[in-house]
């Protein structure tokens, strides 16, 4: 079957690579337990989108990267590694600044970065944005410009997905490099008597 090689590429790792590969594909679902993923679009939608993106990366790398030389693969591995680090730092930074939890419902949402002019007028030392947000029934779009809230939601989601895409890319390229490093199996030729 034409897909046999791809399925072997994904599941044929009998060492650490197998565990790392499976962990990378399952990692987005950790959010369901730890609640550390982006709050938008939904708590179950984020892991599904992330895993789908990872599968597409594995397909792409299998199809287009396996014929590449070791040097080119190593170069791409570095790029995926940089993508992973940058997206992780961006995600953690943005999460810490822009994600809040409504104390009444324990649901998380995302703040914007430009406060509405009418809200800016009432914010002061005795009335912080957090108190205004609580008074607005935890509706971020009543406190910040709507487009900035949507921008931050999309930015957090993309950083989260690209972080896991980077992990999947690193693992797939690492496995491809390991397969190239395996010594080729020598085929023994049985000579019949009378043949040199």
What per-residue confidence (pLDDT) applies to 31?
56
What per-residue confidence (pLDDT) applies to 144?
93
Q: In this structure, how many other beta carbons lie within 10 angstroms of the beta carbon of residue 1?
A: 6
Beta strand ranges found along 17-151 (DSSP E): 99-101, 108-110
pTM of the predicted model as reported, rounded to 2 decimal places: 0.75
What per-residue confidence (pLDDT) applies to 172?
86
Crossing angle of the two packed helices 4-11 and 146-181, in degrees rounded to 10: 100
CB-based contacts of 132, cutoff 8 Å, min separation 6: 119, 122, 123, 143
What per-residue confidence (pLDDT) applies to 18?
55
The answer to whether the beta carbons of residues 30 and 140 sit under 8 Å apart is: no
pLDDT in tens, the chain (196 residues): 556 666 665 554 444 455 555 555 566 656 555 677 888 887 778 888 888 888 888 888 888 888 889 999 999 999 999 999 999 999 999 999 999 988 878 888 999 999 999 988 888 888 888 889 888 889 999 999 999 999 999 999 999 999 989 988 998 888 888 877 765 554 444 445 555 5
* C-alpha count within 13 angstroms, C-beta hemisphere, residue 161: 22
CA end-to-end distance (rounded Å), the chain: 38
What per-residue confidence (pLDDT) applies to 155?
96
What per-residue confidence (pLDDT) applies to 5?
65
* C-alpha count within 13 angstroms, C-beta hemisphere, residue 15: 5
What per-residue confidence (pLDDT) applies to 175?
83
What per-residue confidence (pLDDT) applies to 71?
93
Q: How far is CA 52 from CA 4, 151, 192, in A?
A: 20, 22, 54
DSSP H or E run through 67: none
What per-residue confidence (pLDDT) applies to 179?
79
What per-residue confidence (pLDDT) applies to 23?
59
Distance between CA atoms of residues 141 and 152, nearest Å: 12
What per-residue confidence (pLDDT) applies to 107?
84
Distance between CA atoms of residues 171 and 151, nearest Å: 30
């Amino acid at each position: 079957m034409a897909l046999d090689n791809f399925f072997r590429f994904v599941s044929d790792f009998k060492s650490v690579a197998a565990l790392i590969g499976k962990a990378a594909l399952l990692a987005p679902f950790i959010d369901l337990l730890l609640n550390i993923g982006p709050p938008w679009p939904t708590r179950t939608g984020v892991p599904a989108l992330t895993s789908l993106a990872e599968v597409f990366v594995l397909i792409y790398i299998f199809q287009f990267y396996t014929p590449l030389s070791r040097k080119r693969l190593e170069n791409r591995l570095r790029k995926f590694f940089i993508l992973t680090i940058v997206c992780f730092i961006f995600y953690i930074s943005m999460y810490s600044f822009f994600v809040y939890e409504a104390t009444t419902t324990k649901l998380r949402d995302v703040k914007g970065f430009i406060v509405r002019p009418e809200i800016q007028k009432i914010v002061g030392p005795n009335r912080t944005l957090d108190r205004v947000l609580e008074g607005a029934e935890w509706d971020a779009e009543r406190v910040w410009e709507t487009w900035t809230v949507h921008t931050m939601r999309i930015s957090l989601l993309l950083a989260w997905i690209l972080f896991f895409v980077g992990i999947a890319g690193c693992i797939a390229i690492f496995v491809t490099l390991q397969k190239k490093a395996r010594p080729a199996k020598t085929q023994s030729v049985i000579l019949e008597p009378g043949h040199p």
